[in-house]
A = this chain, B = another copy of it.
Amino acid sequence: MKDDAARRLPGYYAWTLAMEPRFSDMDPNRHLNNVAVMVFFEEARVRFNRHIVETTPGLIRPRYLVAHASVDYLAEGRYPDSLTMAYAIGNIGRTSIRAQKALFQGTDCIALCDTVLVHRGETGPAPLPDDLRSRLEAFAPRV
């Protein structure tokens, strides 16, 4: 991720979310903790999924399982500076998607994250329904 300069630019991403860090996100080194950064990315994922459901009439709420996550930590995050979470859907497979995420503070890209989300049916991975698929395509990276 980090070797792709485009990934560090806000303009790459199709959706953003403003967040505030908490005092409890700091670690003993007085920076935003690496695990707290994962909490921020989790929150972006959950809020993005809610956004999709709320803005797509008739869509059945999809359930996902996180199968994989990769994070590049690029700079130390600071409290209490506001966060901007940026989100794009980088790949849409038959039963899974790859979410591409970035965390910014001001113009600094603090971290990049890729997550593989598997769409869950009753008994295991299930094909993405067409309405979900076409909705997600609208959030492809702006490249």
**Residue ranges of A at the interface with B (Cβ–Cβ < 8 Å):** 2, 19-20, 22-24, 26-30, 33-35, 38-39, 42-43, 46-47, 50, 65-73, 80
What is the chain B residue whose CB lies nearest that of A67?
A: B73
> A38-B38, A50-B80, A80-B50 in contact; A43/B23 too (CB < 8 A)?
yes
Best-buried of A19, A26, A35, A46 by chain B (most CB within 10 Å): A35
A20 touching B22 by the CB < 8 A rule? Answer: no
Give the copy number: 4
How far, in Å, is A101 (CB) from chain B's closest CB? 14
B34 touching A69 by the CB < 8 A rule? Answer: yes
B27 touching A24 by the CB < 8 A rule? Answer: yes
Contacts of A24 in B (CB 8 A): 27, 33, 35, 39, 42-43
How far, in Å, is A118 (CB) from chain B's closest CB? 10
B20 touching A20 by the CB < 8 A rule? Answer: yes
Query: 20 pairs across A/B with beta carbons < 8 Å?
Result: A20-B20, A23-B42, A23-B43, A24-B27, A26-B27, A26-B28, A27-B28, A28-B28, A34-B66, A34-B69, A35-B35, A35-B38, A38-B38, A47-B80, A65-B73, A66-B73, A67-B73, A68-B73, A69-B73, A70-B71
